[in-house]
Amino acid sequence: MSTIVEDTPTTGQKFTAELMGTFVLVFFGCGAALISGGDYVATGLTFGLTVVVMAYAVGRVSGGHFNPAVTLGAVLGGRLPWNQVGLYWAAQLAGGLLAGAVLFGLMHGFEGFDSEGRMAQNSFGDAGSGYAWWAALLLETVLTAVFLWVILAVTDERNEVNAVMGPLTIGLALAMIHFASMGATGTSVNPARSIGVGVFAGTDAIVQLWLFVVAPLLGAAIAGLTYPVLFGQGADAVAGSGLSFGGGRKDQFVPGSYEAQWNQGQQGGWGQPGSPWGAPPQQQWGQPDPYQQPAPPQQQPGPYAAPQQQPGQWGQPAPQQQPTPPPAQPGQWGAPPPAQPGQSAPGHWGNPDGDDDGRTQVRRPD
């Protein structure tokens, strides 16, 4: 059976993939909002398309989270060990801040540009659309929970949606979420997106960042904890994930495709090399092996020989080497049927039928 060799991404590669993906998400999404003047369709689709594009591009390396809330939901949902969270969050925050800094510099290409309240930041109350803080908190929590439920469902090993369709489904879900909430909060569902541009948008935006950190993380926690309860785990959770804070093994993070990343250690890993749980036994070791362990029948004299036979290496094949047929066949060697008492057992050299005077003759055939 041929073996597929899969390179395990290094820590640096995973960090780079998450940083790059988050940078593209924030730069293009918020950039579309700024350049288009907040156009609903352009902004919503751009955020969704960036997730699709970057998940296809680097999803095989890191799984394509690009969002601290997504990482938290993946951990609590049993898809990622806790010891990966710091790496992901650091990369995502760095990517968001880098995107915000680049946008801040580029927007000054417009003469007289003032970044105060004009960086596509998220907001509520008087600093934004007038939407109440408690409603904004509830809205962002619900939207993030829905987003994470979609992600966990699409990447569930039991879902027939494959690795090709998974990123597209997730991107469309993000666009749908933007269409439903941009007029209220500007749509966050992603702390890295909010922080990345918020720190460049003035004091009011910075003061309000707490809501766009707390609400997405709360929604992600709800989804991550409830998905296995509502829909079943599907397979054993990755060690060190969920409410178990033990560190996962290094070989537990082996994405081979976008979807495989979300099903580490599960059947969704599909027996890829380096998987912590490995392939099923018949695939890992080959089916013939379990049946080749016992010795061949001809090497076991006892179980394959008739009880009255002389024990030997060849067992039952011995009669086939002799000209003496079974006793029921008359006319051979002058032995009339039926057999008389005291006959030798079939397979021996004795006369199988006896002679005329009832004595047993022991002779070898010519």
**CA 91 to the chain's CA centroid:** 22
Give the model's pLDDT for residue 275: 35
CA distance 242 to 72: 9
Q: How many CB atoms lie within 10 A of CB 160?
A: 6
CA distance 38 to 49: 17
Whether residue 310 has pLDDT greater than 80: no
- In one-letter notation, the amino acid at residue 188 is S
Quote the DSSP letter at residue 317: T
CA distance 29 to 122: 13
Taking only the tens place, the pLDDT of each residue in 124-178 is: 999 999 999 999 999 999 999 999 999 999 988 888 776 678 999 999 999 999 9
Give the model's pLDDT for residue 246: 54
Residues ≥6 apart with Cβ < 8 Å to 103: 26, 27, 30, 31, 34, 119, 120, 197, 200
Which range in 151-155, 235-239, 275-279, 283-287 is most confidently predicted, on average pLDDT?
151-155
Give the model's pLDDT for residue 101: 98
**What does the CA dihedral 70, 99, 34, 121 come to, rounded to 10 degrees?**
60
The average pLDDT across 8-32 equals 97
Give the model's pLDDT for residue 249: 42
Which runs of consecutive H residues, i.e. helices, occur in the chain? 11-35, 40-62, 68-76, 85-107, 133-154, 166-185, 191-198, 203-207, 209-231, 258-261, 281-284, 288-292
CA-nearest of 197, 16, 17, 5 to 106 is 197
Which carries the bigger pLDDT value, residue 200 or residue 302? Answer: 200
Give the model's pLDDT for residue 298: 53
> Burial, 351: exposed, middle or buried (Cβ in 10 Å; 0-12, 13-18, 19+)?
buried
Domains of the chain: 11-282 (1.20.1080.10), 325-366 (no CATH)
Give the model's pLDDT for residue 157: 83
Taking only the tens place, the pLDDT of each residue in 56-94 is: 999 999 999 999 999 999 999 988 999 999 999 999 999
